[in-house]
Structures are given as structure tokens and as C-alpha cells.
Amino acid sequence: MRCLGILAVALGVAVGGGASAQQRYDGVKIKVLSTNSAYDLELKKFAHEFTEKTGAEVQFDLFGYAPTVQKVSVELLTRSDSYDVVYLGSEEFGRYASGDILEPLDNYIDMKSEDVQDFIAPVLRLYNKDGKQLAFPHFAATQLLYYRADLFEKAGIKQPPQTWEEFRNDCDLLRKADIQCTALRGQPDTGENIWFWGQVLYGFGGKYFANEPADLTPTVNSPAAVEAL
């Protein structure tokens, strides 16, 4: 992704306002490889504004999550120049953070600018290695529990569950009232399963490593982790 510098400079122009004749990138095409998600589909709508301010044209190639991860892996490991910007999940970042695969953005963007400070600091640090910012967060997400108060009342449940044990017990009560309990992500993929399972793992008192980042001994076979699974 050695062409990232072009995008970084262009992005600085777009964020900062109008571009001078020296700052425009007419004729430049920026190819983006990412997921076919609400975030990217919404971002794609603003591509024309980016082009108006910088002169650079943005082309999006969007795929499902699993195909995107596979395609990004091939692009980065073969050091292909087919794409200038790629989606890189935080769980995959460590694989590519070394080896001069990703272009540091510090030389192109003022990391102390107000625009950069708008990012959530801990999320921004996920993509920083050895003091160099190798990427910017695309989005940060968490999980929420939605529930139907009327169905809870029908099943005799007085309040939403506070623990996973209560969650499991509530499911039993709902099923006894002939009500389907819940829907969860569960396909065999890091983005469809392991990402979700993390909250269950920590909820049961488990963790992935003994003492991250000092001790990366896997602890997914601990009693708490096994119970969570």
C-alpha cells in the first residue's frame, strides 16, 4: 500500500478546505478495497465531494466481509499495487504492521491536528506501531441487547438480563412461553463469530492471553474460557 501517501495528502486537502493549483490531484485514481457494509456504502456517497475538492477520483470495490479479508490478505502479502486503500480489521493488523507493507501516514498528516484528535484515542492507537501511524480507524463497534418488553412480560421476566447466566435462564423462560429467545451471529469466521464471542469470553472472566501484551501465552483453554464457549 505504498500509494497511501497520495491519499493521505489528498485527504488533508479535502478536510482542510479548498485546494490550490499545486495541491490538486487531477487524473489520479484511488482504488479502495473494503467491505460491502453500511459504513462503506455511506462513505461511497461522498466520493464525488472528495473528487471536487482534490481532483482525485475514488473507485470502490466492495465485497462481503470474509471475501474482503481474503482479498486484502492476497493484496498485502503479494505487495500488489492493485489497490491504494484497503480495509484492515484490528485483529488482522498485527500480521501486516511490520515488513514495510503499510505506508506510515505521519509524514503526510499532522497527527496533532483537530481532525485527527476527533478519533477515539484508544482505537487510534490500535493502528500505531513503534510510534508510526500505519492506518486510521474506519469504525468502532460494540454489541447491544435489544429486547421486547411485552414478550418479557408474557414470559414472566421482570428486567433484562445482567449476566450471561441470567440471559440463559431468560431464554428458558421465553421458550416455555413458546417464544423464540434470541438471534446471534454465529458463522465460522473471525468477523462473524470470534468478534462476537469476545464479550462472552470476558463476561465469564476469561481472556485470550495471560497478560497482554507482555505475556501472549494463550489462555483460551482456561475454565472460564471453556465455560464461555
pLDDT at 23: 67
Cut 0.75: pTM above it: no
Distance between CA atoms of 55 and 101, rounded to whole angstroms?
27
Distance between CA atoms of 50 and 78, rounded to whole angstroms?
29
Distance between CA atoms of 63 and 76, rounded to whole angstroms?
17
What is the domain class of 4-133 according to CATH?
alpha beta
Domain ranges of the chain: 4-133, 149-228
Distance between CA atoms of 162 and 169, rounded to whole angstroms?
11
pLDDT at 159: 95
Angle at the Cα of 68 (from 196 to 91), degrees rounded to 5? 45
Question: How do the pLDDT tens digits run along the chain, 229 residues long?
Answer: 444 444 444 444 444 444 444 468 899 999 999 999 888 999 899 999 999 989 999 999 999 888 998 999 999 999 999 999 999 887 788 888 887 889 899 888 888 899 898 998 888 888 998 899 999 988 877 788 999 999 999 999 999 999 989 999 999 999 999 999 998 877 776 667 777 888 899 999 999 999 877 888 999 999 999 999 8
